[in-house]
Chain A
Amino acid sequence: MNARQATARTAPDARGGAIPTHARDNAAGPSAAVPPTIEVRGLSKTYRSKREGTVLALDDISFTVEEGEFVCIVGPSGCGKSTLLKILAGIVAHSVGTVAVRGKPPSDAQNRLGLVFQAPVLLPWRTVLQNTLLPAQVLGLDPKAAEARAHDLLRMVGLEQFASSYPNELSGGMQQRCSITRALLHDPSILLMDEPFGALDAMTRDTMNLELQRIWRESGKTIFLITHSIPEAVFLADRVLVMSARPGRIVEEIKVDLPRPRDLDTMSEPAFAEAVRHIRGLFGIGGKERPHVD
């Protein structure tokens, strides 16, 4: 047990990382110009529902996410953020336009990305540890290595004492943290996160933001994260995409040039406050619905 954990944590780097990651495992071949990891062109999505007829959820969306980039998306409730994420994950079909993840359709079997849902979506008959291990079983990874990694991840999010608890014994925030360990277990090179920290208290949220930044810097993952919190988006992202109320359109892209690694002091810098103010302004003018802002 101890020996296994020790081997799993052999190379703690200068930042003291405990979670081993194999960076860019699925990176495209040796071509000089790396194509965008996510490429979306003219995407629209229409839902057909019996009561309301057709609902235009996303309207003519275009953007790219480069490999290793951290992109956050903010927008009013109901503007189609979760829909967009599910299209990228290949679990909802889009209506118009093209979507490519590593040059392939999102539903391609090679695109085994990490997905954090807006709700925890834990399986109630599995313990926290077994829930975390789900991707290892689905993808047929080595069970011993996966279990060691799961324990490391659970320690990172502060759930190690709850490894053998069942989800209905946990608070909403603890369940959500478990869903994050599950998304990270198979070390996916693309991470899609739908308001992952929405259910957490402010202090845990800060810690999780710092952890996420660390994981991202160490592993070179491409992260696409939805949030309701404009400061969180600015803190985490290289680039923030701002969406309008339904039908969702991308109103503006804001590049965030704050130096890395960012820490809690970053939030008191003038450039940070300026970026937050700018995005808030966009909602004040453009959006019919004001987003929840904390």
Chain B
Amino acid sequence: MSTDVKASADTPPPADTLPARAPFSIAGLIDRHLGVLSFIILMLALEFGLRYFRVPDYVLPPPSQIFTALVRGFAPPFLSPSQYYVNIATTLTEALLSFVLGSAFGIFAGAMVVEFKGVRRLALPYVIGLQSVPKVALAPLFVVWFGFGIESKVLLGVLLTFFPLLINTAAGLSSVERDRIELMASLKAKRWTTFRMVKFPSALPYVFAGLEMAAVYSILGAVVGEFVGGNSGLGVLILSRNAALDIAGSLAALVILAVMGIALQRAVAFARGRLLFWAPVHDRLDADS
């Protein structure tokens, strides 16, 4: 195991490979914009397909109607509860609070579990027990205990984001190369110094894998919490659009949720790129972007 690590430390890094700039060609253009192109084709196919087969709007409206609903949702009056602004603000606040609090607690707990044997013995049975509970099933209870405000949603989100960070942080801290810790031991470094200067930075790739999951879970927590009982938020909006059989409005809210999710994940990926410039990127699907 340690020989693997040593070998990889010795291999020179892959040179920055510049993609050879192909001379202008239609094929090259298509290749570069494949994502956008396929999206446009898909939307056009849906648009005409749904119209051609006369699929009713209350089952699946064509993309143009979803687009219209989006435009209408962003129009004034800006502060109306049926418009997007207030609902986006609510859901975003819930998601961000869940993300930050849940991640912070998760990282802290993961570190405590690895660093202190007593904590591990005491807490691990509970962690394993709680982890196997489907946490969204707790949402109705949280609404009873903490009301229809954002507290119940944040709590659900915290619970959802907490575990991936606890587990990833613990895994990262447990797999720090022994040589690195021995290096600090040879300097008789204090435990906290070793943690701060070597162990935690070494665990950061794992922590970031957890944060990427947490970005998804935090929005999930907010929406599920709103479904179960809330006054405001995109989840509430989806329910009310559904009740009015306004499927286009419902799907438009879903598009906004998707954009929010992507934005949060991008933010995490950006921070990761900044902090983990030294870590290999082979495990990233979007490594070329």
Contact = CB atoms under 8 A, between A and B. Distances in A.
Interface in A242-265: none
B118 to A, nearest CB: 22
A159 B198 CA distance: 23
Interface stretch (A7-15, A40-48, A134-142): A134-142
A138 B187 contact: yes
Interface stretch (A20-28, A110-118, A229-237, A286-294): A110-118
B17 interface: no
29 contacts: A86-B182, A89-B182, A89-B185, A89-B186, A90-B185, A90-B186, A107-B188, A108-B188, A109-B188, A119-B9, A119-B179, A120-B9, A121-B177, A121-B182, A122-B9, A123-B201, A124-B278, A124-B279, A125-B277, A134-B183, A134-B187, A134-B197, A138-B187, A138-B193, A138-B197, A139-B187, A168-B12, A169-B13, A175-B9
Interface in B159-188: 177, 179-180, 182-188
DSSP class of B's interface residues: helix, strand, loop or mixed?
A: helix
B175 to A, nearest CB: 15
B277 to A, nearest CB: 8
A55 to B, nearest CB: 15
DSSP class of A's interface residues: helix, strand, loop or mixed?
A: loop
A172 interface: yes
Nearest to B280: A168
A171 interface: yes
A135 B201 contact: no
A125 B179 contact: no
Nearest to B275: A125
B72 interface: no
Contact of A121 (B180, B187, B277): B180
A166 B278 contact: yes
A91 interface: yes
A108 B185 CA distance: 11
6 smallest beta-carbon distances between A and B, as pairs: A115-B186, A124-B278, A91-B185, A168-B13, A172-B10, A121-B179
